[in-house]
């Protein structure tokens, strides 16, 4: 199972949110490039970056910092936050990003989703952010009545190659992953799944790694910044 360390950006600096709440952001006053390079030095093959300013505004706002990371960090970068059109997605890829995450647009315009899936294939990921099984949009600030699994199955039929599943209730809480949600999705979907939200310990990672069918990867954020474990320890624990 892959370990994808996370970098969330606000105004070019690293932060972590609690359950997606922008009013409960912890700023770590760290240089994103140095953080990314340290993750790569520890063995990370992929780094998960979210442009939180872009998620709220509707288009990426931290592309300069992201382009610097792509240029100077050997790990592959996946980027979410404000990816709402094929043009925006392609621009991010042109900056050196390896794949983009299509989030809010999934719930709002399936025609655009189909266009992006068809054009980018493996270079786009369907990111489903859910609270109580329902999809949330606009940087998690707006709830919908859309069932996450129903939408995922529809997107799979439309050409989605990979899914990132985030349980907002556990994200940034260090409360442990939503295992019921993950088990439900991997049994129903025929595409790779990446888990996100709640990882607090190496034991959490090992539990997720034992899910069947297998989870492709797990995104880890706050636990790294709070020094619960290192990227190297995380990778070693799930080998």
Question: Mean pLDDT across the chain, nearest whole number?
Answer: 91
Range of the domain at 144: 2-237
CB 49 within 8 A of CB 79: yes
Q: Which of 111, 107, 127 is nearest to 119 (CA)?
A: 111
DSSP class of residue 178 equals -
CB 58 within 8 A of CB 86: no
Over residues 3-16, the pLDDT tens digits come to 999 999 988 888 76
Over residues 167-186, the pLDDT tens digits come to 988 777 788 999 999 999 99
Pairing of strands 134-137, 124-131: antiparallel
DSSP 143-155: EEEEEHHHHHHHH
Q: Is the pLDDT of residue 1 over 60?
A: yes
Q: What is the pLDDT of residue 21?
A: 60
CB 198 within 8 A of CB 208: no
* CATH at 38: 3.20.20.70
Q: What is the pLDDT of residue 168?
A: 87
User: pTM for this structure?
Assistant: 0.93
* Maximum distance among all Cα pairs of the chain, rounded to whole angstroms: 42
Give dist(CA 171, CA 162) in Å, integer: 20
Would you call 205 helix, strand, or coil by DSSP?
Answer: helix
Instruction: Report the helix count and the strand count for the chain, using DSSP H and E.
Output: 11, 12
- Residue that wins the pLDDT comparison between 238 and 21: 238
Q: What is the pLDDT of residue 18?
A: 64
Q: What is the pLDDT of residue 205?
A: 98
Q: Is the pLDDT of residue 165 over 60?
A: yes
Residue 129: active-site member: yes
Tell me the residue ranges of DSSP E strands in the chain: 2-10, 13-18, 21-27, 46-51, 76-80, 99-102, 124-131, 134-137, 142-147, 163-167, 193-196, 217-220
Lowest mean pLDDT among 91-95, 133-137, 160-164, 191-195: 133-137
Mean pLDDT value across residues 124-136: 91
Q: Which of 179, 172, 224 is nearest to 198 (CA)?
A: 172
Q: What is the pLDDT of residue 22?
A: 62
Mean pLDDT value across residues 226-233: 96
Q: Is the pLDDT of residue 20 over 70?
A: no
* Residue tagged active-site, from 8, 53, 167, 171: 8
Mean pLDDT value across residues 60-81: 95
Q: Which of 156, 19, 9 is nearest to 79 (CA)?
A: 9
Q: How many domains does the chain have?
A: 1
Q: Which of 110, 135, 189 is nearest to 20 (CA)?
A: 135
Residue 171: active-site member: no
Q: What is the pLDDT of residue 28?
A: 73
Q: Which two tokens stand for residue 145?
A: 């009545």
Q: Is the pLDDT of residue 139 over 60?
A: no
Pairing of strands 193-196, 163-167: parallel
Give dist(CA 65, CA 154) in Å, integer: 34
Q: Which of 166, 163, 176 is nearest to 129 (CA)?
A: 166
- Residue that wins the pLDDT comparison between 105 and 1: 1
Q: How far is CA 56 from the centre of its chain?
A: 15
* Residue tagged active-site, from 51, 129, 167, 171: 129
């Amino acid at each position: 199972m892959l370990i994808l360390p996370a970098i969330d950006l606000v105004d070019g600096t690293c932060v972590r949110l609690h359950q997606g709440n922008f009013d409960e952001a912890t700023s770590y006053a760290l240089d994103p490039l140095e953080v990314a390079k340290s993750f790569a030095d520890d063995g990370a093959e992929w780094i998960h970056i979210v442009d939180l300013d872009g998620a709220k505004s509707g288009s990426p706002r931290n592309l300069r910092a992201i382009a610097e990371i792509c240029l100077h960090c050997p790990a592959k970068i996946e980027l979410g936050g404000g990816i709402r059109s094929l043009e925006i997605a392609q621009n991010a890829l042109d900056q050196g990003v390896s794949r983009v995450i299509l989030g809010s647009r999934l719930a709002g315009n399936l025609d655009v989703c189909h266009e992006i899936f068809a054009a980018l294939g493996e270079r786009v990921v369907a990111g489903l952010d859910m609270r109580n099984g329902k999809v949330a949009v606009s940087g998690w600030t707006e709830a919908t009545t859309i069932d996450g699994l129903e939408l995922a199955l529809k997107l799979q039929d439309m050409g989605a190659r990979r899914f990132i599943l985030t349980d907002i209730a556990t994200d940034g809480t260090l409360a442990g992953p939503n295992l019921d949600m993950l088990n439900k999705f991997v049994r129903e979907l025929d595409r790779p799944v990446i888990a996100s939200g709640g990882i607090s310990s190496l034991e959490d990672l090992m539990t997720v790694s034992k899910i069947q069918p297998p989870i492709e990867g797990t995104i880890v954020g706050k636990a790294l910044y709070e020094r619960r474990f290192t990227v190297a320890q995380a990778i070693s624990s799930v080998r």
